[in-house]
Amino acid sequence: MTMPQKIPDKTPSGRWLQTERAAHEAWAKLIAEAPKAAQLMHLLVARIGENNAVVISQKNLIRLMGASRPTVQRAVKKLRDDLWIEVRQIGDRGTTNAYVINDRVAWLGRRDGIRYSLFSAAVVISDDEQPDVAELDRQEPLRQIPSIGRGERQLPTGPGLPPPSEPTFPGMEADLPAKTLRDDVEP
């Protein structure tokens, strides 16, 4: 049997996360009032995707917080009841949920239009939650897509669009005099 892998402590660096000043001050009060709820809020916000949501199981929340199931459930309830987060159940058991962060508290990326009825989310899972955990190290790797350049992971296909046309770049116009052709002028 494979040992469970450690869950990454945070998402990759280089992405800005923003908060409202009033929400930041309320968060400070939450730390004193309900420290485990504040800890959970930090864990969720550190992992949100572009649309302010993360999908994660209770098992992984317990592991990340280093707390018991009842403690995690109380922290989730506190955040949900005080409108810090929305919880959307994934599947019929309720052990994996999408946690949607209130976009008036914290957000990643552009602020406008962040509220969606459908959302994408970062999904946090561990191998011991998978039914085929014993097979994970023996699976054939996925087929690789050839890359074109740094960071490019997909080959372009299809008719596409014509390239944009811009005769000159603004501020870089040619210094040559313009020549006009007219029918009534002889060379």
Indicate the pLDDT class of residue 44, thresholds 50, 70 and 90: very high
- Domains defined for the chain, CATH in brackets: 20-138 (1.10.10.10)
The dihedral sign for the CA sequence 61, 32, 50, 153: negative
pLDDT cut 90: percent of the chain above it:
27
CA of 154: how far to CAs of 146, 150, 157, in Å?
Answer: 7, 11, 9
Q: Vertex 57, ends 55 and 59: CA angle to 5°?
A: 155
**What average pLDDT does the segment 35-50 reach?**
91
Residue 11: is its pLDDT beyond 50?
A: no
Give the predicted TM-score (pTM) of the model. 0.58
Which pLDDT value is given to residue 1?
45
Give the Cα separation of 46 and 108 in Å (integer).
10
Give the Cα separation of 112 and 104 in Å (integer).
11
Of residues 103 and 64, which shows the higher confidence score? 64
**What average pLDDT does the segment 175-183 reach?**
56
Residue 116: is its pLDDT beyond 50?
A: no
Q: Which class for 23: exposed (0-12), middle (13-18), buried (19 or more C-beta within 10 A)? A: middle
